[in-house]
A and B are shown apart, each in its own frame.
Chain A
Amino acid sequence: MNPVTYSTFGADANVKLLFGNIGTVISGPIQLFLLGAGLYLALRVYRQLGMLGRLPPFDIALLGGAFLYAGVVIACVAALVRNNLSMVTVERALTWPGDYISGVLLLEAIFLRRSTAEMGWGYVSKVWGAFVAGIFLASFCNLLNLLTACGIFGWIQTSFVWYLWYPVSAAFALAPAYQWEAMRTAQARMAKEVDELELSTS
């Protein structure tokens, strides 16, 4: 389907399948794990500064939903393994942790967003807001994909999910863009302060 895949690996279906599986694993658990590690480092800094926020009931309910979803996935995986062991392949097994990591990511992102909520809707809040939006949308897409796979929804009914991956990617691109803008603004302000100090001393 992908033009790059067509041009490079289009000849052999097995090679195409192999690269498809590699892409699914890399874009799933591996990328989520790296993002989770980065958000954990940021959370640790906020905790050291004593700026870690408290979660209101709505956020706790949201997180409860995310972990409930992770529990449903675990139950589905357990049922699959019990009923048909031959369906368990390495590629499938590698994609399973993605759903639990999504729950942990949501927890981290909401904590970060709440920690910066008191700062208003400035660049720093927008950085974490973009991460929360991206992670929440990705979790929502994964949930609908699971419900479709279980036969609860028809795939045409949930086909709008295909389009939601673009806002997810946009949110993950916006976060570092806001971060860079925050840094640029801070540097410009610092330079202005230094210039004013030099003017006042001279």
Chain B
Amino acid sequence: MLRSPRAAAGTHTAVIEPVITGFLGQHTGAAVVANVLRIWARIRPVAFGGFQHPTSFITRLILGITTVHLAIGIFVHGYWLATANQRVLRFYFDYAGTLVLLLFAALQTFFRFLHTGSLRPTSRSSWRGRTSCSLQSALSSVRFSSTPWLSIVR
């Protein structure tokens, strides 16, 4: 069921509409409010910068994981500098860090697949996209299974 522009506008309309209908009368006021809401629904995406919506769960997840991982990294780094004990630092980079990077690589590949999946299957863009996704997966797997992250510490 579609929501009407009036319902979508929410409580602001409920406050303003009686004022306008009070001045202009019931029939004319309702017509003016309906037209203003329709125009507002059209210009809103342009006025507020294209497709502007609240950040979705997945982008918040990526930002949240990065922030938490960096915050843990600050403590780990401080501990390493204070005690010169590399065990925690190695665990942070070799296990937690690798998992985070693999998760990001997997999400990157997943969203590229989703993005190209919405294109026509026979189009050149779709084939290019699918090829680049497969290549991206292969590269990410090889990259994280072979790159020594902390070689400078050794």
A positions within 8 Å CB-CB of B: 1-5, 8, 19-20, 22-24, 26-27, 30-31, 34, 38, 119-125, 155-156, 159-160, 162-163, 165-167, 169-170, 172-183, 185-187, 189, 192, 195-196, 199
Contacts and interface: CB of A to CB of B under 8 A. Distances in A.
B145 A183 contact: no
Contact of A26 (B49, B112, B142, B152): B142
Contacts of A125: 49-50
Contacts, number: 154
10 contacts: A1-B90, A2-B144, A2-B146, A27-B143, A169-B105, A176-B108, A176-B112, A179-B111, A180-B114, A189-B45
Given A1-B149, A34-B132, A176 B95 contact: no
A120 B3 CA distance: 27
Interface of B: 2, 45, 48-53, 56, 58-59, 62-63, 65-66, 69-70, 73-74, 77, 81, 90, 93-95, 97-98, 100-101, 104-105, 107-108, 111-112, 114-115, 118, 132, 135-136, 139, 142-152, 154
Contacts of A182: 50-51
Please give me the 4 A-B residue pairs with the lowest Cβ-Cβ distance, nearest first: A120-B49, A122-B50, A23-B146, A176-B111
Mostly helix, strand, loop or mixed at chain B's interface?
A: helix
B98 A124 contact: no
B51 to A, nearest CB: 4
B147 A23 contact: yes
Given A31-B139, A120-B48, A123-B53, A166 B149 contact: no
Contacts of B73: 163, 166
